[in-house]
A and B are shown apart, each in its own frame.
Chain A
Amino acid sequence: MKVELLVRSGCSSCAQAEAIWRLVVDEREFELAVLDVAEAAGSTRAEQLALKAVPAVLMDGELKAVGVVCIQEARELTQAAPLKAHAMLRRMGMFFSVENRWFIVSAQVYLMLAGIGLVLNGSLLSDSASRPAFLHLFTLGFLLFMIYGLGAHMLPRFTGNPLVEGSTWSWVQMGLAHVGVTAYAVGYFAGWQALTLGGAVFAWCSLLIFLLRVWPVLWPNKRS
């Protein structure tokens, strides 16, 4: 993606537009060219488009806006461009991110479900056929979700290396884990082997995603 910003020296709104686009180009991967219409390249471009006013924004040669676009509009115009690596670094504030908060909350729900099952239908007095379902609600549901939520929160702080990715993969991981645990437990209860197997595969994939997310945190590439 190439963004051309046509400006004129001495125009205050042009300076403002350029400042905004400099911020956006720092966030996303696209090429930004600032062309002064008082110079040859800029004036040729303005003549081609019969432009009368600046600043003007061209995207891949097509006129997109005339006048100063606010930063939000600029971000929307360039949202197809990928984020730059440094813009994808996750914040390392004190508090849980939304997804880690959900991991912890989900863990408590699975703990309560597992507890009910083990008391009512589990192995306190005798083994029951549904014991594996409740056992895995505890291990996959409670323990693994706690590891997910606390691990993604604490490991970047312990190592000083932020998670280098957007939040998309953590949500994918969470979706796979929820589907996995639920399918596993329901499959066991209902005696549907294929559903149990599918649940196990989903839960395994969620663990693989978690490992891939935190590996660069634990073992960062020294060159980067």
Chain B
Amino acid sequence: MHKRNRLFVSIALVYGLLGGLVAILRLIDPALIPGNVPRMHGHIMLLGLILMMIYGIALHVLPRFGGFPLYSERMADWQLYLANAGLPLMIVGWLTFIDGWVIAGGLLSYAAIILFGLNMILTVRAARSVSHES
């Protein structure tokens, strides 16, 4: 398994623990963490745990299932950087009530989503064109 994909899975699990901790602290006392905590918890769990887990697993298995190498390793690397720059920015934005940070983080996270989507489409299309030629 590529180191980048292992990083995605590992980071996903760490985000899962972080998101859970945020929820537990809020349940103990809503004033313990400032900011828009429910939205932060939801996005840490969905963008952090679930999406990063999907990134790591999908980047590993989809090329294999398609029978063709990943279209671009570089795109996948940038996807890792953008996703992990975007979510922390969003978290800081929600903690500090600075909407600009949330928007900037959201754009970076969305850029990672676009890179992933394009990379997967191009990988699967490449596999399809080869199978059509043969």
Contacts and interface: CB of A to CB of B under 8 A. Distances in A.
Contacts of B16: 144, 207, 211
B62 interface: no
A110 to B, nearest CB: 15
B21 A207 contact: no
A204 B28 contact: no
Interface residues of B, number: 22
B9 A218 contact: yes
A121 B53 CA distance: 30
A204 B1 contact: no
B50 interface: yes
A203 B20 contact: yes
A203 B17 CA distance: 10
Given A159-B1, A211-B14, A218-B6, A147 B20 contact: no
A197 B24 contact: yes
Given A154-B57, A158-B1, A207-B17, A200 B24 contact: yes
B45 interface: yes
A203 B20 CA distance: 8
Interface string A137-157: 001000110010001001100
Contacts of B9: 151, 155, 214, 218
- With most chain A CB atoms within 10 A of its CB, the pick from B1, B21, B49 is B1
B13 interface: yes
Interface string B49-75: 110010001001100000000000000
A151 B95 CA distance: 31
B46 to A, nearest CB: 8
Interface string B1-34: 1000110011001101100110110011000000
B57 A218 contact: no
Interface in A149-206: 151, 154-155, 158-159, 193, 196-197, 200-201, 203-204
A200 B9 CA distance: 22
B13 A207 contact: yes
A208 interface: yes
A204 B6 contact: no
B17 A219 contact: no
Given A197-B24, A214-B13, 17 more contacts: A144-B16, A147-B53, A154-B57, A158-B60, A197-B27, A197-B28, A200-B24, A204-B17, A207-B13, A207-B16, A207-B17, A207-B20, A211-B14, A214-B9, A218-B9, A219-B6, A219-B10
Interface of A: 139, 143-144, 147, 151, 154-155, 158-159, 193, 196-197, 200-201, 203-204, 207-208, 210-211, 214-215, 218-219
